[in-house]
A and B are shown apart, each in its own frame.
Chain A
Amino acid sequence: MKKKRGADIVVDVLIHEGVDTVFGLPGGAIMEVYDALFDAPFRNILTRHEQAACHMADGYARATGKVGVVIATSGPGATNLVTGLATAYMDSIPLVAITGQVPRHYIGTDAFQEADVIGITRPITKHNFLVTDIKDLPLILRQAFYIARTGRPGPVLVDIPKDITQQVAEYYIPSDEEVKESLPGYNPHVEGNPVQIKKAAELIRKATRPVLYVGGGAILSGAAEEVTKLARLTKIPVTTTNMGKGAFPETDPLSLHMLGMHGTYYANMAVYHSDLLIAVGSRFDDRVTGKISEFAPEAKIIHIDIDPASISKTITVDVPIVGDVKNVLQKLIKELEEKPVEWVAARENWLKQIQEWKEKHPLSYRKSDKIIKPQYVIEEIYNITNGDAIISAGVGQHQMWAAMFYKYSYPRQFLNSGGLGTMGFGFPASVGAKIGRPEKTVFAIEGDGSFIMNIQDLATAVQYRVPVKIAIINNGFLGMVRQWQQFFYDSRYASVCLSVQPDFVKLAESFGAVGLRATKPSEVREVLAKAMEINDRPVLIDFVVDREENVLPMVPAGKSYRDMILTPKQKGEAETMYLVG
């Protein structure tokens, strides 16, 4: 058996797991590991903040489908990971976080830079480990990767006391079988129940107004192809959550685009009037359902999900199928192909109705040639990138416009914090994505409020020459909160005005990136074209946009689709919002 330092064992396991990039920031308790990383045959990205490191690893994982790895020191290093881990946990993103801990004999003494990281991260990780014996180190690390990427994926944290990273011990890397056997209670359910699959097929054959409602689980299990095949085979229209974007091409006539709070009129109406809802890797989030009692009131529901706890959590379903989405869909498609129906005829009326909704109530906004409309910026980004870029967003109005006005056609193309809604996610995630997918154009579409939350990591993007493009939708407001205040708090704009801001162009330049600005609609294309030419460093574009533009449609929180706010209410105009019933 080989004999090595704990820190070198860590690196050995990372190599064994096929890791090609780690993100992080060193400190006392993790210095041994960093010393070992110095010679490691993979990229080691030094970030400026551990939260950004975590989001980068997350963006890398979302864009590539691999496990992201983040490294931090004990105490403040580890606590800085919290928001990043919670973000990944809510969206089921596979991450392994390695944190240093104070030496074992100091644990529990309030030692310098000590924090109960296991306790702090317990509710925001899929699992976490404190290594108490170097003998367990290789197995625990391998378990961490295995747990992170299998079943319903998620972040796993491994906390390693400093003395263990220094200790020298004999070791070997446990085999896959050993890893599985060492976790007797962990058996993700992959195969769907055949009886339930048959039942689902029967419902699909009988349905006259079916809708596919696709979430992030479809992307995570790599089932985009199956989703597309199922929809086209059975002529069922498809709506996705923002996490499910790209599981079905939004350019397809069957696409209803996004549903829910900021979903399209036609997606929400289709779900509302459906008689069969096929939920695929989606979890009936309240941003999707609104008022539960009025969510798809007439529909029978089929729910396919790898996580049994997701099923019937908020909505009772008729046909639950626990299993890997890809696996289940393959069987379901086979079942449907064996006993087909005249699909086109069966769906004719339904698709006609949907087409009518689409024509009457398309996604739209009031165009202007004087002031830049945020939606216009997104449309132009779509045009200049031929719809092929990876888009990463912050949280707020810009995120919703990025979801609405860019049409996504492949999985892992739209990265955003769907579950936790983390401002500060978009830009660092874009850096991770670009590092993982260098061949793609990667755009971070950011709000001025969101971007500033992890602005420091421009330095990282410059240092490693990561040529991401950052489009700031600069409205000088915490826009989404302002919108809520306008609609629901009598336009009392409490603490939403970002009245002091950096000059984003100069800021970019001071970091060594390129800074551009557009203040008039006529400049939008021009700056985008310039940005597309820069390929050796990040480029930031400050789009100074209409300050009080709103994201519409909108279903107010906790309300039903029938309460959808539709007509844009422009600043200073008397035009009232109206409700559709």
Chain B
Amino acid sequence: MSEIKVLKERPQPEKKIGRHVITVKVQHNFGVLARITGLFAGRGYNIESLTVGRTHEPNIARITIVVEGDERVIEQIIKQLRKLIETLRVRNITDIPHIERELALIKIHTENDRTRDEIMRLVNIFRAKVVDVSTDTYTVEITGDEDKIEAFISLIKPFGIKEMARTGTLAMVRESATTKVIMGERFD
């Protein structure tokens, strides 16, 4: 019998890189965050942002992770997160209608009255808030999704940003809405 000829190569999945929003519910135990960040660091996954906080349930914390990667990497991340003993639930909510929010504090240089007016105008349009004032700075608090914050930053940049801090994205699935876009969401 002659040997069977095999000519084909095993098909490799295509790599579609995308932004993914993953929410994780964990037992709020000592060291649980280190376990999660260690999992990412140890496997060379890149976290865009990670936020943690307690929930209304005692001893349960919620984590929102934003991560860039191809489908395979995201699938591995989710499986590895599920494997952790303290993990209660992991969801990739990227394609489910959900709310995303981020908080940023931005200290902006105020040259003169004219720039102060300009900045106030932008603050009002974006429904942000001035939370601290000095002779030559405004510190602005703004919440919204990543796009909104990015848009605000790009408009404010020319005035001179002296300091900035962002929380990273928080996300939650919408309970009732069936559409992604809700009236007023973008600038609310």
Contact = CB atoms under 8 A, between A and B. Distances in A.
Interface of A: 118-119, 122-123, 126-127, 130, 132, 147, 183-186, 209, 272-273, 292-298, 307-309, 312-313, 315-316, 349, 352-353, 356
- Among all A-B residue pairs, the 3 with the closest Cβ atoms: A309-B79, A185-B88, A297-B10
Given A132-B30, A293-B9, A309-B79, 7 more contacts: A118-B31, A147-B85, A273-B6, A297-B8, A298-B6, A309-B80, A309-B82
Interface stretch (B34-42, B121-129, B148-156): B34-42
Contact of B85 (A132, A186, A209, A293): A186
A183 B88 CA distance: 9
Highest count of chain A CB atoms <10 Å: which of B79, B83, B84, B88: B83
Contacts of B175: none
Given A312-B72, A353-B3, A185 B34 contact: no
Given A209-B4, A349-B1, A353-B1, A297 B83 contact: no
A296 B10 CA distance: 7
B55 interface: no
B88 A309 contact: no
A295 B3 CA distance: 17
Nearest to B77: A309
A127 B85 CA distance: 7
Interface string B67-95: 00000100110011011111111000000
Given A273-B6, A315-B10, A185 B75 contact: no
A130 B12 CA distance: 43
Interface string B1-40: 1011010111111000000000000110011001100100
B24 to A, nearest CB: 10
A352 B82 contact: no
Contact of B1 (A122, A186, A356): A356
A46 B26 CA distance: 39
A352 B3 CA distance: 11
A273 B4 contact: yes
Highest count of chain B CB atoms <10 Å: which of A126, A298, A356: A298
Given A185-B84, A298-B8, A309-B76, A123 B26 contact: no
A402 to B, nearest CB: 31
Contacts of B30: 130, 132
Nearest to B11: A316
Contacts of A294: 9-10
A315 B72 CA distance: 10
Contacts of A315: 10
Contacts of A186: 85
A363 to B, nearest CB: 20
Contacts of A118: 31
Contacts of A130: 30-31
B1 A297 contact: no
Contacts of A126: 85
A186 B26 CA distance: 11
A127 B34 CA distance: 12
Contact of A185 (B10, B31, B38, B85): B85
Contacts of A353: 1, 3-4
Nearest to B88: A185
Contacts of A183: 85
Contact of A184 (B11, B12, B88): B88
B45 to A, nearest CB: 13
Nearest to A561: B6
9 contacts: A122-B31, A122-B34, A183-B85, A184-B88, A185-B86, A186-B85, A273-B3, A308-B82, A309-B83
Nearest to A309: B79
Contact of A119 (B26, B34, B76, B84): B34
